[in-house]
Amino acid sequence: MSPGDTRTAILDLAEELLRTRSFNSFSYQDIAAEIGIRKASIHYHFPGKEDLGVALIERFRLRAGAWASRMVERNATPAEKLEAYFQAQFEILRDEGKICAQGILSAEFNALPERMKESYMEFLEEQQQWLVRVLGKGQELGLFADDRTPEELAALIQSAMQGSLQIARASGRPERFQAVAEELVRRIFTAPETVSLPDAAAS
């Protein structure tokens, strides 16, 4: 296995463990045993677990940035971007019961190393500001009916999505997430009937 492949394999497994357990519930020994490498190989790429955690968050940030760039390349309208955002949340819910990365990092925030906290806060702010820009432009174009400020709406959406994702996953009741998403669509979109949301209960 090449160094690049080893690094990717470590990150892939660390992400899996993060989203099925939590960041503080797995060790380098767990990763080494699963991949079949020595712990020294992990330390070569990530000297400490904090370094691994920061790299994971950077991976999430790059993934989110690439997703946003695809929306731009498609010339998506603010309404289409927000609809795609909601659809992406449904994909998280249906991802084999895994915990949303933002959800587990938020829950563990006080126990995270300092550099991870800083990186995660930057990631959250990036997500918030993306929503603010989309909502602000959509309000200018008359695509969104809610008269709250873009900042207030962005905070509402993020909080409602994260909270309902965790409740739906823990309770095994995906319809609870569906109800929240549909209510947000009804309240925010000028033409909610044009918005297509997946069925949260579908496999």
Residue 135 has pLDDT above 80, yes or no: yes
pLDDT digits (tens, 9 = 90+) for 81-130: 999 999 999 999 888 778 889 999 999 999 999 999 999 999 999 999 99
Categorize the per-residue pLDDT at 201 as very low, low, confident or very high, splitting at 50, 70 and 90.
Answer: confident
Residue 79 has pLDDT above 90, yes or no: yes
Percent of the chain with pLDDT over 70: 97
pLDDT of residue 180: 96
**Contacts with 3 (C-beta within 8 Å, 6 or more apart), sequence order:** 44, 45
Tell the burial category of 105 from Cβ atoms under 10 Å away from its Cβ (0-12, 13-18, 19+).
buried
- Structural domains in the chain plus CATH codes: 1-47 (1.10.10.60), 53-194 (1.10.357.10)
DSSP state of 144: B
**Contacts with 83 (C-beta within 8 Å, 6 or more apart), sequence order:** 195, 196, 197
- C-alpha–C-alpha distance, residues 48 and 32, integer Å: 14
